[in-house]
Structure 1
Amino acid sequence: MDLLRDHLARARAGGAVFARTVAEPPWGLRLAGTIQLSLHTVVRGRGWLWFGADGPGRTVELVPGEVTLVRGGTDHYIGHEPGTDCLEPDEFRARHATDGEPDSPAATVFLCGAYRFSGDIGNGLLTALPQVLTLQAAVGDPLRDVIALLSHELAHPEPGQPTVLDRLLDVLLVLAIRNDFRHNPNAPRWYHASTDPRLSPALQAIHENPSHPWTVPELAAISRLSRAAFARTFHEALDQTPMQYLTDWRMTLARDHLRTGELGIADIAHSVGYTSPYAFTTAFRRHHNQPPTTWRQQESAHNAQPQPHNTRPH
Structure 2
Amino acid sequence: MDVLHDYLVRARASGAVFARSVARPPWGLTLPGSIQLSLHTVLRGHAWVWLDDPARAERLLPGDLAIIVGGQDHHIADEPDPGRCLTHEEFWTAGTGGDADDPQAAVFLCGAYRLAGDVGRSLIQALPPMLVIRPAAHDQVHDVVALISRELTHQAPGGQTVLDRLLDVLLVLVLRSSYQTSPTAPRWYHAAEDPRLNRALQAMHQHPEHAWTVPQLAQVSAMSRPAFARTFERALGQPPMRYLTDWRLTLAREYLLAGDLTIEQIAHRTGYSSPNAFAATFRRHIGLPPGRWRQQTTP
TM-score of the superposition, structure 1-length normalised? Answer: 0.88
Structure 1 position 101, deviation (Å): 6.4
- Counterpart-to-counterpart distance in 2, 1:167 and 1:261: 25
User: Could you report, residue by residue, the CA deviation over 1:43-86 in whole angstroms, capped at 9, with x for unpaired residues?
Assistant: 1001111234xx73421112112111001000111112222422
Secondary structure of 1:275's counterpart equals coil
Read off the aligned partner of 1:34 and give its amino acid letter: S
Name the CA distance, whole Å, in 2 between partners of 1:163 and 1:106: 33
Please, which moves more after superposition, 163-172 or 108-117?
163-172
**1:47-66 matched pairs, under 5 angstroms:** 47-52=47-52, 56-66=54-64
Q: Among residues 149, 152, 172, which one is paired with 2:150 in the alignment?
A: 152
Cα 1:30/1:185, change in 2 over 3 Å: closer
Residue 116 of structure 2 is aligned to residue 118 of structure 1: yes
- Displacement of 1:33 after TM fit? 0.3
Which amino acid in structure 2 is aligned with residue 86 of structure 1? C
Distance (Å, rounded) in 2 between the aligned partners of 1:146 and 1:293:
41
Deviation at 1:202, TM superposition (A): 1.1
Runs of 4+ off more than 6 Å: none
Contact 1:220/1:226 (8 A) holds in 2? yes
Aligned residues, how many?
298
Superposition pairs for residues 60-209 of structure 1, below 5 Å?
60-83=58-81, 84-96=83-95, 102-209=100-207
**CA deviations over 1:127-166 (Å, ceiling 9, x no partner):** 1111110111123323222222221221111222222222
Helix, strand or coil: the match of 1:70?
strand
Structure 1 residue 291, shift from structure 2 partner? 2.1
**1:253 maps onto 2:251 in alignment:** yes
Partner of 1:296: 294
Distance across 2 between alignment mates of 1:158 and 1:127: 34
Distance of 1:285 and 1:91 partners within structure 2: 46
8 Å contact kept, 2:24–2:96: no
| Structure 1 residue 12, shift from structure 2 partner | 3.1
Partner of 2:42: 42
CA separation of 1:185/1:50 partners in 2, compared to 1, >3 Å: closer, same or farther? closer
The farther-off stretch of 68-77 and 148-157 is 148-157
Does the 8 Å CA contact 2:38/2:113 hold for their aligned counterparts?
A: yes
Structure 2 distance, partners of 1:260, 1:57, is: 43
After TM superposition, the structure 1 stretch with the greater mean CA deviation from structure 2, 155-164 or 7-16, is 7-16
Map 1:225-304 → 2, pairs under 5 A: 225-300=223-298, 303=299
Q: Matches of 2:146 and 2:281 in 1, distance apart?
A: 50
What secondary structure is seen at the aligned counterpart in 2 of 1:33? Answer: coil
Deviation at 1:114, TM superposition (A): 1.1
Q: CA deviation at 1:168?
A: 1.9
**Which runs of 5 or more structure 1 residues have no equivalent in the other structure?**
304-314
> Offset at 1:13?
5.8
Cα-to-partner distance string for 1:182-219 (whole Å, 9 max, x where unaligned) = 11233111000111111101101111121122222222
Structure 2 counterpart SS, 1:16: strand
Trace 1:7-22 onto structure 2 (pairs within 5 A): 7-12=7-12, 14-22=14-22
AA partner of residue 181 (structure 1): Y
Bigger mean CA offset, 162-171 vs 289-298? 289-298
Question: Per-residue deviation at 1:18?
Answer: 1.9
3-state SS of the aligned residue for 1:133? strand
RMSD, matched Cα:
2.1
Q: In structure 2, what is the Cα distance between the partners aligned to 1:255 and 1:227?
A: 31
Distance 1:231 1:82 in 2: 51
CA apart distance, 1:19? 2.2
- Shift in Å at residue 259 of structure 1? 3.4
The amino acid of 2:283's aligned partner reads R
Q: Give me the whole-angstrom Cα distance separating, in 2, the residues matched to 1:202 and 1:213.
A: 13
Task: Using the TM superposition, name which of 144-153 and 194-203 deviates more.
Answer: 144-153
Identical columns (%): 57
Query: Could you give the per-residue CA deviations for residues 234-264 of structure 1, whole angstroms, max 9, x where no partner exists?
Result: 1111121111110111111212333343433
